[in-house]
């Protein structure tokens, strides 16, 4: 790591101990001054970041700095006065730095350190120097538009925002306009037509995946409309949104927050917003013929997940537990669905759903130049010269058809529906769970909750795709049905076959709907296309082992 030139360096007191305090353009560090007569141990000189009085905070993770009034009650009850703290007995001057501290399971906390200076001049010099460095961080938002869904999850959105998030925004001098929604789609419609977006550096939603979906739809539609792009045309190249979206988790699944930050903790998300993180995200557009239906960033699920959602919507009053009840009910019903899936495979450079390469902060695959990823011309899709541009077709009977544009990790399934899916590679993982016994399906489902590979079953297939189409059997056109029959079975034989199979596994063929990021999409036949990095979040992807746990990091910085 490159050593940074020091901007300021003084001996200040922290918690009653004298420390060498250094500010560079990248770090604020303080290390206890060790009496040379005492033996230096490896721990107090070279220890990891927080060991034995040695601390180092990246400037980009400083939340705020303020001059501190060192007051405490005087002996005259009710009166407060400044307390002389240094040995000479003169007035002590201090400043307090609030900064990000990492705790377990990807959670962040706002920590504070107060540094005492021998005189006010030096104190002001430090405050000014740190403020100047913070002012250089132009990626940080200053003004945000916040939408709160008071009815999401356990109906705690408003309280979470007021008690946990607003104080952090205010400490970081972020100003906000807050709208508590009064109906479903209030936020979407406001963003689409009314909001003066030029005033803001970002939009924040307080709620679950459904609330995020509203914000995303509002922003994408507004961006296309302002740029004269027609989103109803499935082949249009969409314009990326300029404003970043922050998610304060207050929903039932909070999958999008969890899969992009690593946890569903409101304070952590608020801090990612404050430091101005930026994580691009792929978005699937869903069309039926040339009618635009919806956008999706996490799960598009037909069959099992569509049915769970359909049933759970009737149980909203139960809160997050509705998904467990409906999950068990749907599992027991064991319905299968018949149809045709065609898809355009992704380029090999983006890996495969089973390569065990997980998308993490600074992911190499997501940073490949877009030419190597899913950006392609529409004509490519009809070119059959290269294998990657050939549509593949699969017909069959399925318990579930899932497309995961990201891992879909969430508290219920910490590695997600597709653990190696990428946030911003321009592809989705298409998971086909063919008709199988209840026991086999249960085995597959349970693997979402443990370390075993959920794709390692003969009845599960998974493909990394750029586009796909699904047509349920009952919506297939005459020519498609003719083709199917020509492929080997007369319709009479076909129906006898279903009845025979139905008896064997006691499941019934029927219609399902799509679960589109937790919203019901009743259309069976859909066409889906992944738009690489269409939106950006105030997030940074899931951090691997934190660099700040690396001893050499602290050493080099100081
Ligand atoms: N004021 C409101 N009244 C009723 N519904 C609302 C209101 N504001 C937003 N909604 C709708 O509530 C639905 C659910 O909200 P949200 O996603 O926040 O919670 P959830 O469904 O419990 O969580 P998750 O989506 O993570 O499972 C969304 O579809 C959203 O459109
Ligand atoms: C009978 C045993 C069942 C165990 C099954 C565990 C599988 C959990 C997998 C959860 C994946 C959730 C993917 C996220 C989808 C969200 O978009 C959506 C909206 O919040 N949530 C749901 C539940 O549809
Ligand atoms: Ca993706």
- The verdict on the CB of residue 152 being under 6 Å from ligand 1 is yes
Ligand 3 centroid, distance to 414 Cα (angstroms): 17
- What residue's CA is closest to ligand 2, atom 1? 328
Helix (H, G, I), strand (E, B) or coil at 476: coil
The preferred substitution site among 183, 210, 321 for testing ligand 1, maximizing ligand atoms within 8 Å of CB, is 210
The two beta strands, 519-521 and 514-516, are: antiparallel
Which of 40-54, 289-303, 324-338, 473-487 shows the lowest per-residue confidence on average (mean pLDDT)?
Answer: 40-54
When computed from its CA atoms, the radius of gyration of the chain, rounded to whole angstroms, is 28
- Output the DSSP codes for 515-554: EETTEEE--SSEEEEEEEEEEEES------S-GGG-HHHH
Pocket of ligand 1 contains residue 184 by CB under 6 Å: yes
Instruction: Give the model's pLDDT for residue 422.
Output: 98
Ligand nearest to the CA of 518: 2
ipTM for this model: 0.95
Task: Note the pTM of the prediction, 2 decimals.
Answer: 0.87
What confidence score (pLDDT) does residue 118 get? 92
Strands 54-58 and 514-516: unpaired
**CB of 166 sitting under 6 A from ligand 1:** no
DSSP character string of 477-506: -HHHHHHHHHTT--HHHHHHHHHHHHHHHT
Residues 55/29, Cβ–Cβ less than 8 Å: yes
Where residue 459 falls (left for φ over 0; alpha for ψ -120 to 50; beta otherwise) is alpha
Q: Please choose from 302, 308, 316, 408 the residue to mutate so as to test ligand 2's pocket, defined by most ligand atoms within 8 A of CB.
A: 408
Model confidence over 116-173: pLDDT tens digits? 999 999 999 999 999 999 999 999 999 999 999 999 888 999 999 999 999 999 999 9
- Give 36's Cβ-side CA count (13 Å radius): 0
Q: Is 209 among the residues known to form the active site?
A: yes
CA separation (Å) from 94 to 113, 127, 239? 10, 9, 49
Nearest-atom number in ligand 2 for the CA of 412 is 8
Cβ atoms of 17 and 53 closer than 8 Å:
yes
Q: Is the pLDDT assigned to residue 456 strictly greater than 80?
A: yes
Residues contacting residue 124 through CB under 8 Å, at least 6 positions apart: 67
Residue closest by Cα to atom 31 of ligand 1: 184
pLDDT of residue 396: 96
Which protein residues have a CB closer than 5 Å to ligand 3 (ion)?
A: 282, 405, 422, 425
**Cα–Cα separations (whole angstroms), residue 302 to 291, 339, 524:** 19, 11, 8
Specify the 3-state DSSP secondary structure of 61. Answer: helix
For atom 5 of ligand 2, the residue with the nearest CA is 445
pLDDT bin (cut points 50, 70, 90) of residue 558 is: very low
Containing H/E element for 46? helix 42-46
């Amino acid at each position: 790591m490159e050593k940074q030139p020091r901007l300021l360096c003084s001996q200040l007191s922290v918690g009653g101990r004298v420390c060498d305090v250094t500010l560079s353009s990248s770090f604020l560090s303080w290390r206890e001054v060790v009496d040379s007569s005492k033996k230096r141990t490896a721990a107090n000189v070279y220890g990891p970041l927080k060991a034995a009085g040695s601390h180092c905070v990246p400037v980009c993770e400083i939340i705020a700095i303020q001059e501190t009034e060192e007051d405490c009650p005087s002996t005259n009850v009710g009166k407060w006065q400044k307390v002389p703290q240094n040995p000479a007995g003169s007035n002590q001057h201090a400043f307090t730095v609030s900064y990000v501290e990492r705790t377990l399971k990807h959670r962040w906390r706002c920590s504070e350190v107060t540094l005492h200076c021998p005189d006010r001049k030096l104190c002001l010099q430090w405050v000014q120097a740190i403020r100047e460095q913070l002012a250089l961080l132009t990626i940080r938002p200053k003004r945000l538009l916040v939408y709160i869904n008071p009815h999401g999850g356990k109906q705690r959105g408003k309280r979470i925002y007021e008690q946990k998030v607003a104080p952090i925004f205010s400490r970081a001098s972020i100003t906000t306009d807050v709208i508590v929604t009064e109906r479903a789609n209030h936020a979407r419609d406001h963003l689409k037509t009314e909001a003066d977006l030029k005033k803001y550096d970002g939009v924040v939603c307080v709620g679950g995946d459904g609330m995020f979906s509203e914000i995303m739809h509002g922003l994408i539609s507004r961006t296309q409309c302002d740029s004269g792009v027609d989103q109803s045309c499935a082949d249009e190249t969409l314009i990326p949104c300029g404003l970043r979206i922050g998610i304060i988790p207050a929903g039932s699944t909070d999958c999008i927050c969890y899969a992009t930050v690593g946890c569903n903790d409101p304070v952590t998300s608020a801090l990612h917003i404050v430091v101005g993180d930026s994580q691009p995200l792929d978005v699937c557009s869903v069309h039926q013929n040339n009618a635009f239906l919806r956008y999706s960033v996490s799960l598009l699920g037909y069959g099992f997940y569509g049915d769970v959602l359909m049933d759970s919507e009737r149980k909203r009053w139960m809160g997050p537990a509705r998904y467990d009840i409906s999950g068990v009910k749907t599992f027991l019903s064991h319905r299968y669905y018949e149809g045709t899936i065609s898809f355009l495979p992704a380029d090999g450079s983006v890996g495969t759903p089973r390569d065990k390469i997980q998308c993490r902060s600074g992911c190499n695959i997501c940073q490949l130049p877009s030419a190597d990823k899913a950006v392609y011309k529409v004509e490519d899709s009809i070119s059959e010269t290269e294998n990657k541009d050939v549509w593949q077709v699969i017909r069959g009977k399925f318990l579930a058809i899932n497309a995961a544009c990201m891992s879909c990790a969430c508290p219920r399934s910490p590695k997600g529906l597709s653990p190696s899916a990428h946030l911003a590679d321009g592809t989705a993982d298409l998971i086909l769970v063919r008709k199988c016994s209840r026991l086999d399906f249960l085995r597959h489902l349970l693997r979402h909750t443990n370390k075993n590979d959920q794709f390692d079953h003969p009845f599960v297939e998974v493909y990394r795709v750029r586009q796909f189409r699904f047509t349920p059997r009952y919506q297939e056109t005459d020519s498609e049905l003719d083709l199917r029959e020509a492929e080997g079975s007369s319709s009479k034989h076909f129906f006898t076959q279903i009845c025979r199979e139905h008896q064997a596994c006691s499941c019934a063929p029927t219609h399902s709907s799509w679960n589109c990021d937790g919203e019901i999409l009743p259309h069976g036949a859909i066409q889906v296309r992944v738009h690489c990095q269409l939106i950006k979040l105030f997030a940074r992807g899931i951090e691997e082992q934190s660099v700040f746990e690396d001893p050499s990091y602290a050493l080099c910085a100081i």
